[in-house]
Amino acid sequence: MRLLVKQNSSVRRVANVEITQHDGSIILSLVRSGTNQCGWSGDSTGNGFEMVHYAEPKSKTKRITIHASGRVNYHIDANPGINFIPCLLDLVDAVPIAVYLVPEIAALDSVDDTQSDDHVINLDARLIGSFGFKFYAIPFNMTPLANEIWRFIVEGHYGLACVLLPSPLTLPWPRVPLKSFSIVRPSSLLPQQATLEDQAFIRFQALMHMNQVRKMLASSEIKDQELEEIADAIVRNGRGIQGPNNIGIWEVVCNVPMRTRPELIVNFSDTRYHAQMIDMTPLDKRLDKVRVRFKVYDQQATRWVKHPVEILRVFLNAEL
């Protein structure tokens, strides 16, 4: 999904927004083409602000990852900053994520063709000079913020909103050139991460499962209250085995974290098949006690299987 602005006939790109499907984290990329050899770094007050010369050119695109657990990573300079906010599944109010200051509309990258999922914001033709965007994490039922121009909601539960900061804006740091793009990181709301990554993962998986079950039951003639009771019971029993995806990976999600990463035992109706757990990447290790992924190998044909096969039973063995 792209966030674009349009003034008269000119369309410019502000940001890309992605959702990680496994845990519902939000990736906000403030997009600009090209690289920089140096930049300015310091705190939001401007104290100690100084120019930083990079050992290697750095992309002008800056990425902010807003994890469902409440951890916000700012991939802005050589030492990514970290903020902590409430778990996205527990938000009750708008929480500021970042302010993005733009020197002028013409400094943003031009866009030739819009796409079906683009969100295009029409700007007043009289807007001249510097302006900005303020991004907030929000609960699904948040009333519109002042000057809000865009929002999207994840799985009907939480999301991201954008507020327009009108022109003209003055950079609060006298030493920074007026033509600079600036990203202002607010103070961390919490002293530490609100929820462990694996707990947030389990909760988001349950939320997705509930939405899928509700959608499946929506066409039935079951009364609303009874439908919710049935949906709750189905979700409590877990999602079971999911897969395979388009590259042949199956997945089992635990309802609660295990003490250690479990061993996997899979019984197939056809004994020629064998399950092989997938080794964890460094990022996966945060979830190694709640998520097991595997591929299926056909020992007779000596190849990996990407199509569905009949599974009789799956055991996850985490010994004490």
- Identity of the amino acid at 39: G
For 241, left (φ over 0), alpha (ψ -120 to 50), or beta? Answer: beta
Task: Provide the pLDDT for residue 96.
Answer: 96
**Boundary (domain end) residue, out of 134, 159, 184:** 184
Task: Provide the pLDDT for residue 173.
Answer: 64
Q: 19: which strand partners?
A: 26
Q: 271: which strand partners?
A: none
pTM: 0.85
Tell me the DSSP string of 164-208: EEPSP---S-TTS-TT--EEEPPPPSSSS-SS-HHHHHHHHHHHH
Same structural domain for residues 111 and 228? no
> How many domains is the chain built from?
2
Greater pLDDT, 282 or 303: 303
**Structure token pair of residue 112:** 């030739």
**Structure token pair of residue 272:** 């020629």
**pLDDT (average), residues 117-144:** 91
Same structural domain for residues 102 and 167? yes
**pLDDT (average), residues 290-298:** 90
Q: How does residue 46 score in pLDDT terms, banded at 50, 70 and 90? A: low
Task: Provide the pLDDT for residue 251.
Answer: 87
In a domain, 191, yes or no: no
**pLDDT (average), residues 74-91:** 86
Same structural domain for residues 143 and 215? no
What's the mean per-residue pLDDT of the chain? 86
Q: Does the pLDDT at position 70 exceed 80?
A: yes
Task: Provide the pLDDT for residue 282.
Answer: 66
**pLDDT (average), residues 48-70:** 86
Greater pLDDT, 259 or 66: 66
Same structural domain for residues 144 and 16? yes
Same structural domain for residues 70 and 180? yes
In a domain, 20, yes or no: yes
Domain that holds residue 283: 197-317
Buried b (16+ CB within 10 A) or exposed e, 43-57: eeeeeebeeeeeeee
Same structural domain for residues 41 and 79? yes
Task: Provide the pLDDT for residue 315.
Answer: 84
Task: Provide the pLDDT for residue 56.
Answer: 84
Same structural domain for residues 233 and 305? yes
Greater pLDDT, 107 or 286: 107
Task: Provide the pLDDT for residue 222.
Answer: 72
Same structural domain for residues 75 and 7? yes
Same structural domain for residues 28 and 113? yes
Same structural domain for residues 241 and 176? no
**pLDDT (average), residues 28-34:** 95
In a domain, 239, yes or no: yes
Tell me the pLDDT tens digit for each residue of 197-232. 989 988 898 888 888 888 888 777 777 777 778 878
Q: 101: which strand partners?
A: 132, 182
Same structural domain for residues 172 and 256? no
Greater pLDDT, 109 or 171: 109
Same structural domain for residues 135 and 219? no
**Boundary (domain end) residue, out of 152, 184, 216:** 184
**Boundary (domain end) residue, out of 130, 152, 184:** 184
Task: Provide the pLDDT for residue 84.
Answer: 96
